[in-house]
Structure 1
Amino acid sequence: MDECQTSNLLLFIVAPLGALSGPINYYRNITKSTPLRGEERICKPPTLIIWGDADQFLVKEGAIASLKYCKQGQLKFIEGASHWVMQDEPSQVNQLVDEFLSTPTLSSSASKL
């Protein structure tokens, strides 16, 4: 996604009145929440993390580290995709979600497409 496409996407996302309320409130409250301890920190439902390996905002190591908080987690990197992985590679994201939802059992793993 080039700079012009990114700007247009951001305008599309933030243009509706109140569109940023949720994201801004997330960051406002991130330091106010009670820290979770022990088992409370573990996400128990099967979890799929889809990550663009060309993300300019978040590092791959953060995605990999997130798996330790997932009881049944999978991490899939999409090569060449940016932070906006769903806009960059919608077909690959849809395929990964379909496969994930069709999988009866999951275990923590990381792979690259």
Structure 2
Amino acid sequence: MTTKTHVTGHRFADVDGIKVFYREAGDPDAPRLLLLHGFPSASHQYARLIEELRDDFHIVAPDHPGSGHSDAPERPHTFDFLADTIEKFLETIGFTGFSLYVFDFGAPVGFRIATRHPEWIKGLIVQNGNAYEDGLSELARNFIANRDPQGARDMLALEFTKFGYLEGVRDPEAISPDTWTLDQHYLDLRPQPQIDLALDYHTNVAKYPEWQAYLREHQPPTLITWGRGDPFFLEPGAKAYLRDLPDAQLHLFDTGHFALEEDLTEIATLIRAFVPRG
């Protein structure tokens, strides 16, 4: 049996005066894995995955500006701003040449970075991270079309946070209430950045053709793991990747949006088999 020896560090990096919090674990000489979190969470959503994989990879998982422990500067929070900051963060800590794990809001951040720096991307792991209109649910389409500020505020309610974790799962009792409780703490503490991002989401849909062109041109090795009960990003969005990445690995799980909550071990096993060593 392998003895686990690596611990997770909890650090800050200064990026143009913005303190970016990040978790880092593993051997610096191991293959690199970047984890980008989604709404309404932060890098804490990956704590168990990091523990599972930290003896196999060099892992970095930042909190986006306005989320978790990172600063929320007094300015509009857009997806371009998040991508700009995370790009500079990666340059600051010297973390390039990685496999990129994207989920939810992490997908538009990650795809912006990938299109700017295709040479950084050694592989792509997509977990309920949408890049095709096929994947947009009616709920998502209506919100994106209306861009309603009150609707954005309603998305920050505890009932909606809990819905995101429990809808579509196999066993609601398997989902710890700590998940939505911690996320809700940060939403209540700093709501405006998340309202800004919700109202900016339409810019991601406008970039879908650009991201799809990147995938077609560069053909990054890709692993797709997807909770098929996701109420926001539907199963057709997972299958749509195969149009541009016919060699991608696709694995559908009978769970919801936060697939790691029920299928952590299975997804971690797929990642170990997928990411090249050396």
Matched residue, 1:99: 273
Matched residue, 1:86: 260
- Shift in Å at residue 96 of structure 1? 1.1
- Shift in Å at residue 56 of structure 1? 2.5
Q: Letter of the aligned partner of 1:90 in structure 2?
A: L
Mapping of 1:30-69 within 5 angstroms? Answer: 30-33=204-207, 35-36=209-210, 39-42=213-216, 44-69=219-244
Q: Is 2:226–2:238's contact at 8 Å kept on the other side of the alignment?
A: yes
The change in CA–CA distance for 1:12 and 1:99 in structure 2 (over 3 A counts) is: farther
Tell me, which stretches of 5 or more residues in structure 1 are unaligned?
Answer: 104-113
After TM superposition, which residue ranges in structure 1, 4 or more long, deviate above 6 angstroms? Answer: none
Q: How much identity, in percent, do the aligned residues show?
A: 22
- Shift in Å at residue 14 of structure 1? 3.5
Tell me, which stretches of 5 or more residues in structure 2 are unaligned?
Answer: 1-165, 167-171
2:221 & 2:243 partners in 1: Cα distance? 13
- Shift in Å at residue 40 of structure 1? 4.0
TM-score by length of 2: 0.29
Counterpart of 2:266 in 1: which secondary structure?
A: helix
- Shift in Å at residue 50 of structure 1? 0.5
- Shift in Å at residue 55 of structure 1? 2.1
Segment drifting more, 16-25 vs 54-63:
16-25
Q: Is 1:51–1:76's contact at 8 Å kept on the other side of the alignment?
A: yes
Q: Letter of the aligned partner of 2:194 in structure 1?
A: L
The change in CA–CA distance for 1:84 and 1:68 in structure 2 (over 3 A counts) is: same
Give RMSD over aligned pairs.
Answer: 3.7
Counterpart of 1:30 in 2: which secondary structure?
A: helix
Matched residue, 1:8: 181
Number of paired residues? 102
- Shift in Å at residue 11 of structure 1? 1.5
The superposition leaves residues 3-39 of structure 1 with CA deviations (integer Å, 9 ceiling, x where unpaired) of: 9836436415645647637953761422554943995
- Shift in Å at residue 70 of structure 1? 1.9
2:212 & 2:256 partners in 1: Cα distance? 33
Matched residue, 2:249: 74
The change in CA–CA distance for 1:41 and 1:58 in structure 2 (over 3 A counts) is: same
2:206 & 2:224 partners in 1: Cα distance? 25
The change in CA–CA distance for 1:47 and 1:41 in structure 2 (over 3 A counts) is: closer
Q: Letter of the aligned partner of 1:24 in structure 2?
A: A
1:9 & 1:96 partners in 2: Cα distance? 28
Q: Which has the higher contact order (CA 8 A, sep 6+)?
A: 1
1:46 & 1:24 partners in 2: Cα distance? 30
- Shift in Å at residue 65 of structure 1? 1.4
